[in-house]
Amino acid sequence: MTINEVESASEFYKELRGDPPSAEEIVSDRDFEWIKFYKPMPVSFGFEIEQLDTDVCDQLRFTYPWHYDGSGPYETALPPSVYPGRRLKGFIDTCRNTPGCTWTWKSEISHPRAPGQKSGCGSHIHFRPRKDVDYISAQWVEAWTSAFNTLVETVPLVLPMFCYGIEDQQVFTFRRQALYWANIVKRRVSNATTMRFLDLSYIGHPYDAVAWNRKIVEKPLTIEMRLNETHPAIAYELAILLNRIIRKCYERGFISPKLADRNRVIDDIVRNTARSIERNENLYTILEMVEDIRFMRGREIPLLNRGYPNYLELFKDILRNYGHPYPPMARVCRLFLHEGEPWRNPQALWNTFVPYGEFSWDQAEIPSR
């Protein structure tokens, strides 16, 4: 990417005012011009990608190890990495560059072994604080506690980015059983509780939207975000946004955000999301009905205001303050700023990593380059 391309993209996506990408956030060597300073990502992350087995082409089966998930779909893992964008771009490039290897993403499929039932698909995200970063390893328990509590508080505030939509119903909402398999939790943890999860005796993977995950003792502990039903190109930018929020919380002394009147706010979010699912109502429209969202003084999400009149005002302010004109991130942020729906963009989702000037959303009303 040339300096002129950087300047042009910065102007085109100027509503986004977050930090420029670090070397660990860019997805290609051609994007080095975007880097202004070095700030390490505080958590490494990876994905579990779950889809219908017959959609996975031979080249993808040969390149990545796949297996059948216990709940039904075909799954491959991209393990946690400090360069997750490059790893994910490699996955997507394999699909894009192999004839017949892209497909229409699915948020659920018919269960292969239980007729009449559905299985969830998506791109589950696994976070793990980085022990190779000195200031994090020096406060290892605090880092895990802050990351978990930050995710418990912020994941409910960015739900549209976890949602793909239901194509056969022509509606932007989660699949029918989403909140059963990924229960939105309110319970925060103390350092003492975190230490119990860090102990090797902990084995578990609860069905929570934000979950302490270690299925077997040989695997490292991660914080899993199970609610994510969407395409990995969106999941990557979502993970970067959450990573950036965690970093700002670490930088202010590992102090996580905390909502005022949090029981009411989170209960309202869950109730309205459930209504969207049950009645096939647009998720944006229903979540906008969650009003008067405020944070405790000094416990705001860094860079944000203390209070917002409704859910969408807060959600979009997160995008504006943590997104950046770097094209892969900017494209995804603008999709949601314009209340776009991933399921309406099945072709464009495979192209979010292409060079600036070569991209457009399938929803033509969303400005993109």
Q: What is the pLDDT of residues 222-235, one digit of tens each?
A: 999 999 999 999 99
Q: How many Cβ atoms from other residues are within 10 Å of residue 156's Cβ? A: 26
Q: HSE on the CB side for 287, CA within 13 Å?
A: 25
- Residue 369 belongs to a domain: no
DSSP code of 158? G
Tokens of 269: 């979010």
Mean pLDDT to the nearest integer, 333-346: 98
pLDDT above 90 (res 114): no
Mean pLDDT to the nearest integer, 150-163: 98
Summarize pLDDT for 315-327 with one digit per residue, the tens: 999 999 999 999 9
Residue 117: the pLDDT is 77
- Residue 363 belongs to a domain: no
- Residue 279 belongs to a domain: yes
Tokens of 184: 């939105």
| Beta-bridge partners for 47 | 78, 125
Averaged pLDDT of the chain: 95
- Looking at the structure of the chain, the number of domains it has is 1
CA distances from 323 to 19, 164, 290, 355 (A): 8, 20, 23, 18
- Residue 121 belongs to a domain: yes
Domain enclosing residue 162, as ranges: 3-351
Residue 29: the pLDDT is 93
pTM of the model: 0.96
User: Which residue type does 252 have?
Assistant: R
- Residue 191 belongs to a domain: yes
Residue 182 sits in a domain of what CATH number? 3.30.590
Mean pLDDT to the nearest integer, 76-80: 92
Mean pLDDT to the nearest integer, 323-342: 98
CA-based nearest residue to 1, from 26, 25, 24, 19: 26
pLDDT above 80 (res 116): no
Query: Under a CB-based contact definition with an 8 Å cutoff, are residues 283 and 276 in contact?
Result: yes
CA-based nearest residue to 335, from 309, 318, 313, 360: 360
Mean pLDDT to the nearest integer, 146-156: 98
pLDDT above 90 (res 273): yes
pLDDT band at 112 (very low <50, low <70, confident <90, very high): low
Q: Which contiguous run of DSSP H or E holds residue 47?
A: strand 43-51
Number of residues that this document lists for the chain: 369
- Residue 368 belongs to a domain: no
Mean pLDDT to the nearest integer, 80-86: 91
CA distances from 66 to 50, 52, 91 (A): 9, 11, 13
Residue 80: the pLDDT is 87
Which percentage of the chain shows pLDDT scores above 70? 99
pLDDT above 90 (res 75): yes
Q: Which contiguous run of DSSP H or E holds residue 51?
A: strand 43-51
Name the region of 170 (left: φ>0; alpha: ψ -120 to 50; beta: rest): left
CA-based nearest residue to 206, from 214, 198, 196: 214
Give the Cα separation of 222 and 309 in Å (integer).
34
pLDDT above 90 (res 119): no
DSSP code of 220? P
Tokens of 110: 């018919």
User: Which residue type does 39 have?
Assistant: K
pLDDT above 70 (res 1): no
Mean pLDDT to the nearest integer, 309-317: 98
Summarize pLDDT for 340-356 with one digit per residue, the tens: 999 999 999 999 999 99
CA-based nearest residue to 53, from 41, 40, 69, 31: 69
pLDDT band at 110 (very low <50, low <70, confident <90, very high): confident
- Residue 359 belongs to a domain: no
